[in-house]
Structure 1
């Protein structure tokens, strides 16, 4: 998923400018110890994620607070996503970027406990969004449970098969059990869940087995379910053992072993969850949700067993078994109780997490049919995320900022406000949406109009828009690449490029079929012309439209997938880059083709900017809305192979004699033009022998041996020229690659790109680069 943010308007450009200035200052005043390395580290920039939406792709474990009604999702890279109601989402980032293997709320306490892979127990303060306390545990924790309404961990299971139950008031061990305490021939039974006969396994196994999962199977704390690495499941009756001063009167029903399969090699039971039967008043039945226990190599499913017994574990039986299909590789699951419930209560919803980052929901009302032997198939519902990323698959995004065009801004704000009143979703069985927690930001209550627009394109050809003025996004509308009454081939192909001009209120959408759809916003119903533009001719049709975005033109010029789109001159022109290195320019007034050129054959064009972008739509340089007010300029074309070509935006002629490119092969991500630099007073503080000066001098001198490239340049004078140009008002071209950020003088790109061979100043090393 790419995020295209260049040319988005005043506020976005200012953020890029400030970011570039910060990088430049860091490069100039870099610590002397890193001079020889020539690179900045991620810690030098201290970049942090401000807002995050959706389910992280590395999601691995779930937790739920039934009082606050919050869902927490731990990841494999040390993040925790917290989701509440009304589109409220938050992101916690651990100081240690390690996977979370356990996660649980201290219910209604404002704290969240996470256990990492190195057995680091972290206690997160939810209000301050930071780690309040941390403890390094000596042993390997495989499962744990927190006492409801307290700050205590009651129950801890270790990988050596040991189970410890603590008496918290007495501060002493109440129960200590292991697999070697089990003697099934004398005091237990084996229950086969399936049709095949049991394999000949010994019931008197004396070796401890690793515990993989654990859960209470009763509201009173009398039954404990434990899953093991070899696929066994044990249900322990600990009611008599946990009563001080009393002996076990019925040792023969202390434990029941469940075997999901008769195979000798079975999957570990890594997840166990219990949902009591709301018809069972004596806490003698319910549903056990299991992942694992089946034969190794069998299809991944989530198994649900409906179990019943009488006092203790007497007359134990399995009355039903069901298997729920998974949408991907299993990661975790969690049962969500009804609002206002106490203890272990009947399930309102089942959340199932699969890789990569997919969350599905089952209505708890429909799960009850499994107890009645009904064969009604159960279908999962996609988790209703605010910004979908996988269903449908998100392919390209853009954040656009603007501070003018009040009519357009107010109209979109009204549409977003109307969508806020739709309410929370209802599950298929009629259950209300169970996530309602969180406190909305006060900023969302103000009425300042829409200032930022977030746009996403999807694989199914749809485009969705959100009001991104405040941290909690508000959906505005969704549109699809189809035109009523006009048949266009590949019209609904996967979206591959986006750009938006807030002056003309036109949204440009490119797709994998080589088409570009142009949508204009209308604040009322009426008629307009639809234009179909191709290399042979143009067609026009009269179309009726309502309020919102409607397609006014489809451009079919480039016969390969569209990779980038960029508005020029306040929306007067549209530049289009393709998969095979072609660039076409469209006149937005007449919808005619101005030129089509092969800029960088063989490599996709991924970014297009002009030297007027930083002067357009900014608070310091407001536009009158007349496209003719903007001057023509140079257009920079970036290919995926990190080659940059400068062309005339009027004629399409190439200006630079050869592409600018890094000295070594690299893969480009994006390109930005930075207007402005550090103040004149800061020029005097550039130290001699600094990283910036040394690298430029080294680059130019290293290539001075090539007389064809440097016959008109002197290396030392060239270095001085580069440094002076870097602090001029319109100085920077920022090239973002997968391994580094590179900052170039824009004038040097035009004048001496051939001589330099693209020797830019590398600012961030691939080994220490931060994720932007």
Structure 2
């Protein structure tokens, strides 16, 4: 390991040279590195055989006054990811300081035969300098990032550890729960392992079968007279760690919603997303049910939403068409119906057509919808508040 003086463009300190010569029988390559301090005095280096060395970095003044470039030949700590025989390459490292006390080092390693994600707590002031924990993820982690946001303007900052898994899903851990576990894991009553929650992305989700995008003001979106990205400030946090597994049914700034993203899923679910800024936020979902309150489980194959009348049509592979009429209020925003309590803001009627529904279209403000099926039949539906009239046209 070499320490370079950037201005002088030369190495001022070399460490580990003797150690490398002594271990030529076991060749290994550096795969990752990161600082493990706040002032640049220590660095962690990960190798392709799972070894993790922590080196002390000499101060610049001491290297400048020294006539020799010789440095330390032994690291201050030698660790290993998992069992030494596993030899999992350390793909990435990330250091999280914690008020100058017990910082945490996140270690991610995997190969074709296995994976492991480990967290270490390094505390020089404690008798137990190193405390380890393994996050029980089901598949290898392709990337990690610490996302920090404000859960509440009047509360402390909240951070989430986001792990991108091999399948494309994002796994979230509350970073404060990880810290709490590490600090109390050796006590008489250790806490339980932190729980993870999975983020369902509206784009790239394999469960989505159809999607539609609607905007309340196409002219404003085209001219960009209002900064599209500044509206992200209305969101309290990109990843909410509260109420894991639940959807956001409403929020105070729903009247500011300008863009709506509707997705239909393979399990029959319809999801509504606020797309007013690049961070899509799920508002609520509708899951079609049978008369006995069980889920239909039929994949959604087509969607059509008429904004002026607040009527949504969803078509299924089974040939079922659901007419969902939302209750409007006095607000000027055409998406204001999303602010009502979920389940109380819409009525559902259903009709059965021959063949799987393949396409839908509508004439704005007319309440007329055209529905096509795989049998070559086009149905013209006139949807009012209380009734639905339709006739068939065979193509």
1:175·1:241 contact (CA, 8 Å) conserved in 2? no
Paired with 1:268 and 1:350, the residues of 2 have a C-alpha distance of 21
In the alignment, what sits opposite 1:729? none
Give the drift of 1:512: 4.0
In the alignment, what sits opposite 2:265? 458
**1:303 has 2:97 as partner:** no
Structure showing greater Rg: 1
Paired with 2:141 and 2:57, the residues of 1 have a C-alpha distance of 31
1:248–1:305 distance in 2 versus 1, CA, 3 Å: farther
Task: Spell out, residue by residue over 1:292-340, the C-alpha distance to the aligned partner (whole angstroms, 9 max, x if none).
Answer: 27x9733x33111233457xxxx9966432111336441111345799x
**1:576 has 2:372 as partner:** yes
1:289–1:587 distance in 2 versus 1, CA, 3 Å: closer
Q: How many residues align?
A: 344
In the alignment, what sits opposite 2:46? 227
TM-score by length of 1: 0.38
1:362·1:379 contact (CA, 8 Å) conserved in 2? yes
Paired with 1:286 and 1:329, the residues of 2 have a C-alpha distance of 24
**1:181 has 2:18 as partner:** yes
Paired with 2:6 and 2:148, the residues of 1 have a C-alpha distance of 26
**1:501 has 2:312 as partner:** no
More deviation, 266-275/250-259: 250-259
Give the drift of 1:507: 0.9
Unmatched segments (≥5 aa) in structure 1: 1-162, 185-202, 340-345, 405-418, 430-444, 526-544, 596-650, 655-772
Give the drift of 1:273: 1.7
Give the drift of 1:509: 0.8
Secondary structure class of the residue paired with 1:182: helix
Paired with 1:564 and 1:364, the residues of 2 have a C-alpha distance of 45
TM-score by length of 2: 0.68
Q: CA RMSD in A?
A: 4.6
1:403–1:222 distance in 2 versus 1, CA, 3 Å: closer
Task: Spell out, residue by residue over 1:315-370, the C-alpha distance to the aligned partner (whole angstroms, 9 max, x if none).
Answer: 9966432111336441111345799xxxxxx9943221223443333222111222
Match of residue 91, structure 2, among 263, 270, 282: 270
**1:594 has 2:391 as partner:** yes
Give the drift of 1:456: 1.9
Match of residue 363, structure 1, among 171, 174, 197: 174
Match of residue 315, structure 2, among 510, 513, 519: 510
**1:372 has 2:184 as partner:** yes
**1:334 has 2:149 as partner:** no
Secondary structure class of the residue paired with 1:181: helix
Match of residue 564, structure 1, among 348, 351, 359: 359
Please identify which structure carries the higher strand content: 2
Paired with 1:378 and 1:450, the residues of 2 have a C-alpha distance of 34
Give the drift of 1:396: 1.2
Paired with 1:396 and 1:512, the residues of 2 have a C-alpha distance of 12
Match of residue 555, structure 1, among 339, 351, 354: 351
Give the drift of 1:464: 3.4
Paired with 1:390 and 1:379, the residues of 2 have a C-alpha distance of 24
Give the drift of 1:248: 10
1:335–1:575 distance in 2 versus 1, CA, 3 Å: closer
Secondary structure class of the residue paired with 1:377: coil
1:460·1:494 contact (CA, 8 Å) conserved in 2? yes
Paired with 2:75 and 2:131, the residues of 1 have a C-alpha distance of 23
In the alignment, what sits opposite 1:414? none
Paired with 2:148 and 2:346, the residues of 1 have a C-alpha distance of 44
1:321·1:370 contact (CA, 8 Å) conserved in 2? yes
1:495·1:510 contact (CA, 8 Å) conserved in 2? yes
Paired with 2:391 and 2:363, the residues of 1 have a C-alpha distance of 13
Unmatched segments (≥5 aa) in structure 2: 151-156, 219-231, 244-252, 331-340
Please identify which structure carries the higher helix content: 1
2:284·2:342 contact (CA, 8 Å) conserved in 1? no
Where relative contact order (Cα < 8 A, 6+ residues apart) is larger, the structure is 1
Match of residue 287, structure 1, among 104, 112, 118: 104
1:259–1:173 distance in 2 versus 1, CA, 3 Å: same
- Note the 1:586-665 alignment, pairs <5 A: 586-588=380-382, 591=388, 594-595=391-392, 651-652=393-394, 654=395
1:378–1:390 distance in 2 versus 1, CA, 3 Å: farther
Paired with 1:396 and 1:555, the residues of 2 have a C-alpha distance of 20
